[in-house]
Chains A and B, each alone.
Chain A
């Protein structure tokens, strides 16, 4: 009676269980339930739950909306490429465009304020990765994902791309300021 032979008993399902097995199954099952209920629990009591607010969009439509916000709230530009730095009022809708191979615009936010961040990609899939905070969100073309963010520490952050998006993928990096 070994695992590579047929079970020694025709009625193998009637074999009684050892206490080691029963005990472990009960403990493991309990732990599985704890882990399961942690997720709904965090939706009620936790502060980090990715929103599911999503709209279908097109690259053109999204870029247009984003541009309107950029035009309204740009406070200065940075680098030779004149990347706009946008400082929106608290609670505002802000847009971040992911495209080959840049993030636009640079956002300047305030500690403790909540913003509605709209994310979408113009071409391929990209990965929004906020460093060193290490918050990571997939960005898809054709989908406008609205995430409410509340920065809790001042500083200069980076947004890097962590979904492979072609040969310039490792150059797709930008900044985000929290004042």
Chain B
């Protein structure tokens, strides 16, 4: 069987592509970018509507487009791309054939049908229920059915990934253990299986409820299980983009993990505590005990946060060590100055790492603290936080990876290199300002998912402080900048596929080669065991910690001044 499969070796990177896998990776990545484009256009409209001075569209349209934006971005763009990443990390990195490509196409078709169905339903105006579709706010049954089909398709993708790992092992296409990046993808995949199961448990009854077969769904139960799905899927995103960070560090710098044990252990922590995730979203809900909230929201004493803090050190640490080995050893930061800042694969990944840690990470832990949640729950602080995690973190990491994939996977030269070079900065920094201003507005109490915070026409309106309106205007402007950055990405990627110079793809044949374990002489990570190999990274980590501690306690201080609540 394996002999009839066709493979090619990319002459530029040495990566070996299985022909069937290659087509699937391309298809998934392409559809992902289409959804990113749609979601980006929607982002423009909703950002300009929240800007009270412009207030672009009417209320019903705003809520409808906001629903579509959340789904097209966080479900469809991200998950289609993740399926591409899963196939790449299994079939390509392990130099093996993809398990059952036909079934993979079935999964792809289900995802496509599901996502189109959801979009059609939402744009018909039948299901303006937001990303979370909290019952008993009614959506059309086809909305939930679309989500279910999409989820089943994604689940198939997960099993294809797992199957491919089995194939690689059985056919001995690699020596030793799977690469760290594949291990990260495996983490994402395991979490995805759990997540999709939770999704099924809640979406199937909700679908039956919308179709009229079930009369009542308990709102608190819905929230608890929905978030087991909704938050765990963010753990998928984190695992996936951390894997992409490691991959890019390896690709651009030849960086090796500081320690396989630590990085893999950190991924393992993600898996162990993922099922506790839904509590973050229920901290200001009635009916749940304090013990349950405290234990779950901290993922059993913040061990998943610990995992992210570890990755946050080891990824740049690995880069620092690789750079130092190249001779950039002067001072603490020569390795940073001499990094390829003009290469979007690197710059995007680096901005992603820092934006995720400093903006997304710190704010996420703050709002995930039981009592502190009360002072930001459902305000704009929440989207401010998660745009830092899923846009600067996940989306920008995926964008960076694309610049690497265009020449090797699509065999095209990246067009408009000048534009590509600036893209991560425009997108990443635009988004960073967007997130900060949104969090600022949230701190001032501005609600999320709200068409008009001037409350025009309400009997007892409230006037927000001028600073709040200024924050909103700022995030709207920054949002426009980020949308331009996103547009640059779509232009460069789609343009490269259409007009980029064709590159030598290598020839297809049924010959394959085994992925050899690299030869190393001693049992050391980077020749400096028990040294202090990444001092620059360590200093940055301490700066990060200082910011974290200060911000954390500032919020407690603020909490202590509000009304007594017991």
Query: Which A residues are closer than 8 A to B by beta carbons?
Result: 1-21, 23-25, 27-29, 31-33, 35-36, 38-40, 42-43, 46-52, 54, 78-81, 83, 106, 114, 119, 123-125, 127, 129-138, 140-145, 147-152, 158, 160-167, 169-175
A61 to B238, CA, bound (A): 45
Residues of B146-193 contacting chain A, CB below 8 A: 174-181
**Contacts of B93 on A, CB cut-off 8 Å?**
4
21 sample A-B contacts, Cβ–Cβ < 8 Å, listed by A number: A3-B250, A3-B263, A18-B534, A20-B258, A21-B310, A31-B549, A35-B302, A47-B564, A47-B565, A48-B562, A48-B563, A106-B460, A127-B447, A133-B563, A136-B378, A137-B286, A149-B564, A164-B63, A166-B137, A170-B453, A170-B455
Q: How far is the CB of B565 from chain A (nearest CB, A)?
A: 5
Tell me which of B181, B447, B459, B559 contacts A160 (CB under 8 A).
B447
Decide if B563 touches A135 in the complex (CB within 8 Å). yes
- In the complex, which residue of chain B has the Cβ closest to the Cβ of A123? B136
Decide if B566 touches A11 in the complex (CB within 8 Å). no
A135 to B283, CA, bound (A): 13
B36 within 8 A of A: no
Interface centre among B262, B465, B564 (most CB of A within 10 A): B564
Q: Interface residues of B toward A: which range?
A: 35 or more
Residues of A contacting B: mostly: mixed
Decide if B523 touches A9 in the complex (CB within 8 Å). yes
**Contacts of B369 on A, CB cut-off 8 Å?**
35, 38-39
**Contacts A3-B318, A18-B532 hold; do A12 and B286 have CB atoms under 8 A apart?**
no
A166 to B93, CA, bound (A): 47
Decide if B259 touches A162 in the complex (CB within 8 Å). no
**Contacts of A135 on B, CB cut-off 8 Å?**
374-375, 562-563, 565
**Contacts of A138 on B, CB cut-off 8 Å?**
282, 284-286, 377-378
A148 to B371, CA, bound (A): 14
Q: How far is the CB of A26 from chain B (nearest CB, A)?
A: 11
Decide if B453 touches A19 in the complex (CB within 8 Å). no
**Contacts A4-B247, A21-B314, A39-B370 hold; do A150 and B255 have CB atoms under 8 A apart?**
no
A161 to B378, CA, bound (A): 9
Q: How far is the CB of B104 from chain A (nearest CB, A)?
A: 22
- In the complex, which residue of chain B has the Cβ closest to the Cβ of A2? B250
Known: A20-B532, A125-B219. 15 other contacts (CB 8 A): A16-B529, A19-B532, A20-B258, A20-B533, A23-B538, A28-B306, A42-B371, A46-B560, A52-B290, A78-B460, A119-B286, A124-B137, A134-B444, A134-B445, A163-B134
**Contacts of A21 on B, CB cut-off 8 Å?**
258-259, 262, 310, 313-314, 317
**Contacts A3-B249, A20-B532 hold; do A136 and B376 have CB atoms under 8 A apart?**
yes
Q: How far is the CB of A171 from chain B (nearest CB, A)?
A: 5
Decide if A3 touches B247 in the complex (CB within 8 Å). yes
Decide if A162 touches B515 in the complex (CB within 8 Å). no
A80 to B534, CA, bound (A): 69
- In the complex, which residue of chain B has the Cβ closest to the Cβ of A40? B294
Per CB-CB distance, the 7 closest pairs between chain A and chain B, nearest first, are A145-B286, A158-B462, A150-B564, A162-B447, A32-B302, A136-B377, A2-B250
Q: How far is the CB of B457 from chain A (nearest CB, A)?
A: 6
Decide if B517 touches A5 in the complex (CB within 8 Å). yes
Residues of B contacting A: mostly: loop
B421 within 8 A of A: no
Tell me which of A15, A129, A144, A158 contacts B259 (CB under 8 A).
A15
Decide if A5 touches B565 in the complex (CB within 8 Å). no
A129 to B306, CA, bound (A): 32
Decide if B445 touches A3 in the complex (CB within 8 Å). no
**Contacts of A164 on B, CB cut-off 8 Å?**
63, 130, 137, 449-450
Decide if A50 touches B374 in the complex (CB within 8 Å). yes
Decide if B517 touches A6 in the complex (CB within 8 Å). yes
**Contacts of A137 on B, CB cut-off 8 Å?**
284, 286, 374, 377
- In the complex, which residue of chain B has the Cβ closest to the Cβ of A6? B176
**Contacts of B531 on A, CB cut-off 8 Å?**
18-19
**Contacts of A148 on B, CB cut-off 8 Å?**
564-566
B309 within 8 A of A: yes
Q: How far is the CB of B230 from chain A (nearest CB, A)?
A: 15
**Contacts of A162 on B, CB cut-off 8 Å?**
377-379, 447-450
Tell me which of A9, A127, A140 contacts B378 (CB under 8 A).
A127
A15 to B260, CA, bound (A): 8
**Contacts of B76 on A, CB cut-off 8 Å?**
none
**Contacts of B180 on A, CB cut-off 8 Å?**
3-4, 7
Decide if B520 touches A127 in the complex (CB within 8 Å). no
- In the complex, which residue of chain A has the Cβ closest to the Cβ of B464? A131
**Contacts of A143 on B, CB cut-off 8 Å?**
219-220, 286-287
Decide if A48 touches B371 in the complex (CB within 8 Å). yes
Decide if B255 touches A2 in the complex (CB within 8 Å). yes
**Contacts of B314 on A, CB cut-off 8 Å?**
21
Q: How far is the CB of A148 from chain B (nearest CB, A)?
A: 4
B365 within 8 A of A: yes
